[in-house]
Chain A
């Protein structure tokens, strides 16, 4: 069932088009990964889907209702968002930050579950050990995991994550996406912006490739992640290989000889202080 859909969506900032004519359907029970080069419009698209960015044209609906017509609290019960950067103005503790995810359910009967949900969410995001730490003193990766726990605590049918793995180590990258995937299997619609294409291949049900503000391809990882398409979109030769049943996306590196690296070093020596 389609939960979130856009038709003819376009966004422009200062007359500069960021997204053009984007049609996208996201169904419950699937994990959709948005990929694309820098400036392709991934974050903007996620911003539109989460209701942060007003589209300049086209239509966005959530559960067959126009997104803009939702009140803030009603929307917060439908979708949770993890942003790329998470700041916090005051020194709250990790468990307090996770509990903030429960606020859309205050004064409803689901409030009774707060303690259980907060504990479970911290467990799933692997931040239980950090529960009493002050959020601003955490490392970037720990902050990202805390934000992920907050997103889980919100218990919404739609989850949106903007580069959630950027600051994470390999173990936590895998476990975060595994949790996101299990949420999708439990019926949630999950949208994730990722840069790591191999990671996208491993966890996505569907990959949507954006390029210059348009949907360039949209389909299963095996259909979309082809050498030809990625080479064109990323303007860099890219190889796709299969290893042990996994798709691996590898950029073709031509200049990795020792000779070249000496050359670059020489160039660097020629201008020791390029910014001086």
Chain B
């Protein structure tokens, strides 16, 4: 018996070491990706100069300043807000995906796939077309949040049955929701003037072009609150994997947990969608990869997904703006291009392992 306890303690220590290793590794990867991505583009700034510029800005006289006359400006006006925005949006989407999969008990749930991102985009487009400005820069974000909340609740109510959501029901609900939101977007484009139309198109494609510090200022607190809340909910989401009744038996207030998770998902999705548009599949791919490496425990899954999502979107955005010279490809297009096949593979796998459409 004592040997078993000691064995478990050793396993516990290994688990903690693995946890620190994974989170530490992802943090380093994120920092490297940020510096590297900030330096790359039409005007190349070497990583040492990117670091130098950062150091000088915080008052440390270390490292070289950008040698190009426009270097400093490019970094601070265009690149830094853009890579920071990419990291925030990626973190939000991946965390929202991990939460949704936990609360739906289904590894295929994702804000883009089930139409939550599209719902948030419709609400945001409404704000643009009708030129709503009741809360300044925050207006679009608030509208996106409300849209996200309504759609998440809708998907949740429509697709759950007996404590779990079947793959077919979830995906079909997503199709229905996406159909309705496309109709909504089409109507808004019809109503809007040329400029509003262009903005809406930009949204449905998803892009980080035009990220500015003032937008980062809106997204950052939302991401911070959302991810912190997600970390708080994480341990209870493990128990939800047992199913509703069994989760209640081990002391989880299931309804309250679900409702709070839905609100958090809406906050995170809105944060990502408000200024970057619909970027799908990040919330599907990242948590899935993390689960393959670190297992399904949400205590590790949630923070690791946040970091992994940030890394992935920073790199995807770098790819989107450097793949074709002098062209800024829509990032939503790229993530969908890679995410679509991945989704196929997941569906096939879910079908095989669950012995049908469980």
A interface residue numbers (CB < 8 A to B): 50-52, 71-77, 79-81, 83, 86-93, 95-97, 100-101, 103-104, 106, 115-116, 118-120, 123, 128, 136, 150, 154
Contact = CB atoms under 8 A, between A and B. Distances in A.
B291 interface: yes
A79 B245 CA distance: 13
A72 B105 contact: no
Interface stretch (B20-28, B146-154, B236-244): B236-244
A154 B246 CA distance: 12
A213 B102 CA distance: 37
Contacts of A128: 4
B136 interface: no
Contact of A100 (B107, B242, B245, B295): B242
B284 to A, nearest CB: 15
B121 to A, nearest CB: 29
B346 to A, nearest CB: 14
B164 A87 contact: yes
B184 interface: no
Interface stretch (B85-93, B110-118, B249-257, B337-345): B249-257
Contacts of B164: 87, 89
A154 B250 contact: yes
Contacts of A103: 235, 239, 250-252
Given A91-B295, A104-B251, 7 more contacts: A75-B251, A83-B249, A92-B241, A96-B295, A100-B239, A115-B8, A154-B250
Interface string B94-105: 000000001001
A66 B106 CA distance: 35
B5 interface: yes
B248 interface: yes
Interface of B: 1, 4-5, 8-9, 11-12, 102, 105-107, 164, 235, 238-243, 245-246, 248-254, 291, 295-297, 353
B249 A76 contact: yes
Contact of A76 (B5, B9, B250): B250
Contacts of B239: 100, 103
B293 to A, nearest CB: 13
Contacts of B291: 90-91
B353 A72 contact: no
Nearest to A86: B246
Nearest to B165: A89
A219 B64 CA distance: 88
A89 B291 CA distance: 13
A72 B252 contact: yes
B238 A100 contact: yes
Nearest to B236: A103
Contact of B251 (A77, A93, A120): A77
A88 B238 CA distance: 10
A46 B1 CA distance: 34
B250 A118 contact: no
A212 to B, nearest CB: 25
Q: Identify the 3 closest CB pairs spanning chains A and B, nearest first.
A: A76-B251, A90-B296, A89-B105
A118 B1 CA distance: 11
A89 B250 contact: no
B250 A101 contact: yes
Contacts of A100: 238-239, 242, 250
A152 B238 CA distance: 19
Nearest to B298: A90
B250 A120 contact: no
A88 B241 contact: yes
A79 B251 CA distance: 10
Nearest to B241: A89
A89 B106 contact: yes
A88 B249 CA distance: 14
Nearest to A116: B5
B249 A119 contact: no
B251 A92 contact: no
A115 B5 contact: yes
B296 A91 contact: yes
A51 B244 CA distance: 13
B258 to A, nearest CB: 13
B252 A136 contact: no
Given A90-B241, A90-B296, A71 B253 contact: yes
A123 B296 contact: no
28 contacts: A71-B253, A72-B254, A73-B253, A76-B251, A79-B249, A80-B249, A86-B243, A87-B164, A87-B243, A89-B102, A89-B106, A89-B240, A89-B243, A90-B291, A91-B296, A92-B238, A92-B297, A93-B295, A97-B242, A100-B250, A103-B239, A104-B250, A106-B235, A115-B5, A115-B9, A120-B1, A136-B353, A154-B250
A73 B5 contact: no
